[in-house]
Amino acid sequence: MKKLMMTLAVAGAIFIAPEVTEASVKMGDRGSSVETLQQSLASQGYNSSSNIDGVFGPKTLAAVQAYQLSNRISSPRGNFFGVAGPRTLSSLGVSGGSSNSTAASSSSSSSNSSQSTSVAGASSSSSNSGVISTARSLVGSPYVWGGTSPRGFDCSGFIQYSFAQNGKSVPRTVAQMWNAGSRVSSPSVGDLVFFETRTGPSHAGIYIGNNQFIHSGSSTGVTISNMSNPYWSRTYIGARSL
């Protein structure tokens, strides 16, 4: 009898595990908790505003994985890579990431807020999240001088392509982008950041938040870099909003 009671106790401890899963939003889930997650990812530039439908599909999975990688929450080697668990949800500000039901309860207010106000540190243009999503999907594309397609980009070709895929036309060269943009004192998500690697504005990228920008570097191809990097901080000359 004593052994039977111990066996039941162990079984009970194992049975508790699904409660951890309930505090997560994952592939295949549907409903307001997923919609809230999608809205939060979009506000950070990791999800397209057109992908807010309450269905956790491949696009949402990719957005969650990109967010987890950028914020060092998980990686492809992690057991929960692509699962929006408590840590991911809390980082996104989704009701502390306590549970799906908690996330769902905030869906309505989050939706109303996203429609009426700008997210702090982000552009009010709904197209910016789409631009960032497109740009992120191109990470790894090679650098090609004069390149304007995923087969190869130069820095301005990459920016022009990312915006064009979201219905916005921008000039072709870095100098033209610099002249066409409106000066801002500090960049918001979706703004362009410029660097003087040669005389005048000669390199540019798209600001994605958290002091990071995405760009096509001559030695790296499309990649994400930190503006605090000594080289980029030394050559940075300002930001422009298009």
Active site residues: 155, 203, 215
What distance lies between CA 235 and its chain's CA centroid? 25
- Tell me the CA distances in angstroms from 230 to 105, 216, 226, 227, 233, one per residue in order: 44, 18, 9, 8, 5
CA distance 50 to 41: 12
* Cα–Cα nearest to 91, from 46, 132, 61, 134: 46
Structure tokens at 38: 């999608």
Contact at 8 Å (CB) between 155 and 201? no
Cα 69 to Cα 39, 66, 75, 78, 192, distances in angstroms: 18, 5, 6, 11, 22
Name residue 123's amino acid: S
- The set of residues, in sequence order, having a beta carbon less than 8 Å from that of 197 and lying 6+ positions away, is 203, 235
Longest dimension (CA), the chain: 84
Task: Copy the structure tokens of residue 215.
Answer: 């760009």
CA nearest neighbour of 132 among 146, 142, 121: 121
